[in-house]
Structure 1
């Protein structure tokens, strides 16, 4: 359960805040001062902002009263058509809405505020608006949308060097990557957030950063380190009297004790979280506690208790719209039903789990998040390039002035002429170095984006293929084995015997189809026997299916030795070309030729289809052709396409190894 910071409030009317909130004043004095200023103020916009400030001051102890003041400020803003006052409602109200689990409502008002700040806001206000929208998508487990808004906020925060915003965004990105099981990257963002939090001397910021670091420690089985982090978090919560932070410490400690098999201590912590969450209406923490309790009861084989806690957790997750947690609860429910022999219910829960899993951390979502991060890094590098080019122009102007002075003095001083020539030579050398550096940055930017996309794609292909083969394949094989055992013990009529045999045939077909899909995602022969065998098997399977007759040829490949990454990339290019041939060309036959000559590998794919205009590829937006170009660039290869209408297509790829 990684932690994110859920709200950032823009500072309204700082000159009034300085008057009202000197460091030594007590809370009651601040509230009295605010009420006095609100009563005496004749300026409607100032009064609106003071309503927000007053609500913020009492929202911890009197949340309903705080919401009343927020709503009052919003209605006054609407009546005055005061856009920024309407937008400010989001930053103040979403905390109360989130505590009640009303994430969709919080998202709607945050998006409304973002539209206003995109037109009227300064950079900091716009960054805060992006951050608030990202947090609500994060609550709803749409990690792609959350990451996109966080990275937009990070770009602005880095430009204006706002340390507070940088800290929050880094912490939220840490939570995103921990949810995606990229613990190394999650820890890197969390540590960056903690460093800024300590610089700002902000207790809550320190506790939230420590929470994400503790979560990573649990996943890496560094339990003592995790307990140390959670103890620090609980201490901060007690010192600041922040109930949420205390709950974070309790819940985290419970998870660690659970992982360490200290069940009694874990049970005590979880029950404290449930009771406290019900008392103070924190449904999200109650849900997480039920998830932990269900694991405890399952380990102890107390299936009735486990079922009750899982059902309570599912009800809260559905109410809150927390898809990531709901996915986890479906998996727990499936395991429980399987353990108690309720295989039909287990399968139903498993289906629900797989559907949510694909929508949250599937290949497309994970790849898109990595692409967004690569895009952000690329934009930072583009900014560096612009600075270098600006420095180069300044140097050019300086040299021009120096040269003019040289021409004036050339007749009177040979020494000045020599010095000028040497200076010019140095300038040319520096100019070449700068051009080289610019080229390197541009190339690095492209490779970072490509590597991010392809790495995520291949990892997800391997994971899904393994899940299909080991998970679903095992389940189907088990069903087949059970049916075969039943056949020997049942007496059936000829009609039932015939229906039983048809069912067994359909089950065999399902197993074969599942294996075919897993093989297409990550061919086992490619990992075990190499590129030539995998490509030959793929072509033979296509030919056997009747979709396209492929003549596969290989030349001088007996001593082929290339790394696995290159083999996978060449195989994916060939696979994509053949799939495009089957989908678009209308071809009846094709030739696939793989050749090695010294350090050069060539791949040729030709078909007798209808062909196309090669210029159309310049406007192609499909992922297929884009992936072919990305993989070719990553291999530093060249690709040539020859196609004419009615005369088929030939694609020729060359790669140096």
Structure 2
């Protein structure tokens, strides 16, 4: 069977023609630490049939330069140009030390991964250093997902595992389930590279659960395919097939042709392990069709070997030959010695079935030459067993037995290596757990110290805050007390003003009545007596003229007395209200010819306003118009009074000579002082707009 192994990586890993994809993906065991010039590695022992699934281990992976995307592709990546590297370096020179620069370091590392792993590692480490200085946890996770690829290539799985577990912890701290799922999958990959398939399954299963929560069907399929491979290695082929079929279903529905080809190849292996040759053949044929569509040589070679293997087990010698021949050609084109050795062994078995011992021996000898040159001991064992079968066919029993003895010696060595490997895995797992326990203990100690520091800091801060709050509370109380004192003083002043105004109005009312009833009555009586005397006196014309003038002067005095009394307490204000009193007052000014006043009222006609307020408003407008007539040299004025709910607005404008409003701040005139007092009494505000040559506008807003 042929295993097309899936690997989850968040880093960009583009294979080049000169690199063996087995090393690129890290699918080699601890037995395979010695690699050849092309990066080819040794594989564990297995029968010829099972060998095929170890041949094709190339799931190509890419990563995005700014986000940790788990993109899985199997096509060969294109080498990045020097121009791209130069442009990134220029950007790096002007970049600030922030998260964007971290991404630049990562992208530069991606570019150098193809041909200079050491430089790629340098940029990844720079990304880590900057991320730690910025406390940029996502940057650290990006570093880990990239740098662990380099560690996997070098076979430093212990360091890779520790970093990936750190990535899991960081992803948990920032509560990012997507990054956590990817970190878990990457950790599963490291365990699979180390042939610790039980642990790989554990982490893959956790990653699948998170991707199910995120409803990421594609990633579920890819990890399912990885689980299929892990379960195959654990000889749990039923579970392997279950995950494989589900991966095929999802990828077929998503239209992911490349991923579908990989899953079909692994699923064919699972079918074949369970003895379902027809189903396996169907999957191999579909994978072969996809490889032609994608021009995917490695997928094509793997599919051809798988189909040839099925025909071999059916003893269909003629049917198997063309598949092995095509696979042999492709393996040589791709410089793939594993595939070449497998194809040669298949052709040797073809000739063995056809009893063409010469052709069989020639092909298996070539396969042995490849295995010897690369020290591929598992390949050598399988090839030697086939050679022994050929020698038996040639009746060279002694040579055949010697060949089997040699194979047995190598198998015993491999078995010992396997035991040693498993022992090392257990020891490494123990050491890893010990390191993790130490790290957790250190973290707990650090956390305890930090907690103590936080508590002390919190206590100090609390003391400072309490002191500040106490000081501010004291200041606030003082301000409230001062405000209360000022309010009481203002109320006292307003009460005094109110008393003065009421006393003033009462005195004005008394004087107006005294003038009207007392002096007014006396003058009227004098006028009546003089008119009576006029009829009884005989006067010269001059005396009669003087007498008439005296009566006219008496009439003028009576009118002036009535005018003064009226100004002191307008009779219309008391009888008919504010609106009528103001209208009469403005009409009187108009009739006098001193000023043309346009009076307008809004909402005052039927308004009920308290008498003290009405008198105060009347005096305010009276004072303003008196000022216009005395100082403004105006021809016309506008008086507008409006009432809305409990608000009264007064506007008095004139077209006079205007003045600089700054003088109001320093004026000490009695009229202006009385005006301000009345406005303050009614808790109103006044706005004066004026400028020399532009007239004056006074706006007063009061509460009725």
TM-score under structure 1 normalisation?
0.42
Larger RCO: 1 or 2 (CA < 8 Å, sep 6+)? 2
User: Which is greater in Rg?
Assistant: 2
The structure in which a higher percent of residues are helix is 1
